[in-house]
Amino acid sequence: MTGFAAVVLEQDGEGKTEARFGRLSDSDLMDGNVTLAVRASAVNFKDGLAMTGRLPVVRRWPMVPGVDVAATVTTSEDARWRPGDEVILTGWGVGETHLGGWSERMRVSGDWLVRRPPTLSPVQAMALGTAGLTVAEGLDRLGRFGLAPADGPAVVTGAAGGVGSLAVMLLARAGWSVTAVTGRPEQAERLRRLGAAEVIGREAFAGAVKPLAHERWTVALDTVGSTVLAHVLSMLKAGGAAIACGNAAGMDLPTSVAPFILRGVSLVGVDSVHVPTARREAIWSRLADIVDRDRLAAMTRVIGLPEAIDAARRIADGGIAGRTVVAIGDR
């Protein structure tokens, strides 16, 4: 058998996305100056959207999904990288415009790579992945406001998902009292083990959004968007801040100016796709230092490449909690 294994997305004549587990050859690889042997990837919500075609994530056909990659350099025309180097790749259009990580082999630009911290295995790095990068960048943004755990509690929406679970874990690790919000009550005990002081359902965020509601939290990390984020903004304490990093409930935001002009609340967005390389390196170094390996392992499921198609469909339907790592090569 020649070539290498990969998950491939294609469009049929009616524009419907079809997925298959098959094989590609080196001639299918895209332009780049570094070739990688992929060791692990992950299943992200964006991969689920690409798999189901619910949003136009994929902008090049055929496509290999997988926006997160842990790999070993096999050949390089970039002086910064040598065969044997262990690297991480997240963002930069991988899995959207450039063939992604659900493949045994990739060819990419050396500009997109950062070194994998030696204290993180490929599976651990992918258990963090884009989700960990997003949360760490969000926590850094919160720190720039001078906010600290002594100022009041934090809230995480969509807490059972990958980004939300990591947010609960990392906020708790930093000393925050964390309220985890989830529509999956069966995940409550798992969220408490990750560090949540309180687990509540979505009921508090139902109904019409008030311009201002009872002040409950100092900081928020929202993975849901839409009316949930609008409710959260109305409940933040004066001078509080919310990080927006997801749209699981929709792209709209039916809020008012009241939280911003009457309580001085701040809303900050995090884009993890185009984070500068130096910044990525600093974030990965910090994650390697602070992450609780036992808690990370407890929230992570490891699957094989053929199982990734079903996992992507399930994550798009809200059927996956925590993080799912796709083990591809030697881990």
Q: Is the pLDDT of residue 206 over 90?
A: no
Q: Where do the domains of the chain lie?
A: 4-116+299-327, 130-269
What's residue 117's pLDDT? 98
**Both structure tokens of 13:** 């004549």
Dump the DSSP string for 164-199.
HHHHHHHHHHTT--EEEE-S-GGGHHHHHHHT-SEE
> Quick one: which of 159, 256, 265, 258 has its CA closest to 202?
159
Average pLDDT over residues 225-230: 96
Residue 118 vs residues 17, 111, 152, 264: alpha-carbon distances, Å: 38, 20, 35, 42
Amino acid at 54: R
Task: State whether residue 6 is helix, strand or coil.
Answer: strand
Share of the chain above pLDDT 70, in %: 99
CB atoms within 10 A of CB 266: 20
Mean pLDDT highest for which of 132-146, 230-244, 246-260, 312-326?
A: 230-244
Dump the DSSP string for 54-120.
SS----SSSB---SEEEEEEEEESSTT--TT-EEEEE-TTBTTTB--SSBSEEEE-GGG-EEPPTTS
312-331 pLDDT tens trace: 999 999 889 999 999 997 55
136-167 pLDDT tens trace: 999 998 889 999 999 999 999 999 999 999 99
Residue 69 CB partners (closer than 8 Å, separation 6+): 36, 38, 40, 41, 88, 89, 90, 94, 100, 101, 106, 126
32-56 pLDDT tens trace: 999 999 999 999 999 999 999 888 8
164-179 pLDDT tens trace: 999 999 999 999 999 9
Same fold, 4-116+299-327 and 130-269: no
Q: Rounded to whole angstroms, how far apart are CA atoms 78 and 64?
A: 24
3-state helix, strand, coil in the chain (%, to 5): 35, 25, 40
What dihedral angle (degrees, nearest 10) is formed by the CA atoms of 46, 50, 53, 56? 80
What dihedral angle (degrees, nearest 10) is formed by the CA atoms of 235, 241, 246, 252? 60
8 A C-beta contact, residue 270 and residue 244 = yes
Q: Is the pLDDT of residue 80 over 90?
A: yes
Q: Rounded to whole angstroms, how far apart are CA atoms 197 and 238?
A: 22
Class of domain 4-116+299-327: alpha beta
Whole-model pTM: value is: 0.93
84-123 pLDDT tens trace: 999 999 999 999 999 999 999 999 999 999 999 999 999 9
Q: Is the pLDDT of residue 209 over 80?
A: yes
What's residue 330's pLDDT? 59
What's residue 15's pLDDT? 84
Calculate the average pLDDT of the chain: 94
**Both structure tokens of 300:** 């992570």
Q: Taking phi first (over 0 means left), then psi (-120 to 50 degrees means alpha), and beta for anything else, what does residue 278 get?
A: alpha
Under the banding of pLDDT at 50, 70 and 90, the label for residue 1 is low
Under the banding of pLDDT at 50, 70 and 90, the label for residue 303 is very high
126, with CB counted inside 10 A (0-12, 13-18, 19+), is: buried
User: Does domain 130-269 bear CATH number 3.30.70.20?
Assistant: no
Under the banding of pLDDT at 50, 70 and 90, the label for residue 292 is very high
8 A C-beta contact, residue 325 and residue 126 = yes
263-276 pLDDT tens trace: 999 999 998 888 88
Strand bridging mode 198-200 / 217-222? unpaired
Under the banding of pLDDT at 50, 70 and 90, the label for residue 14 is confident
What's residue 121's pLDDT? 97
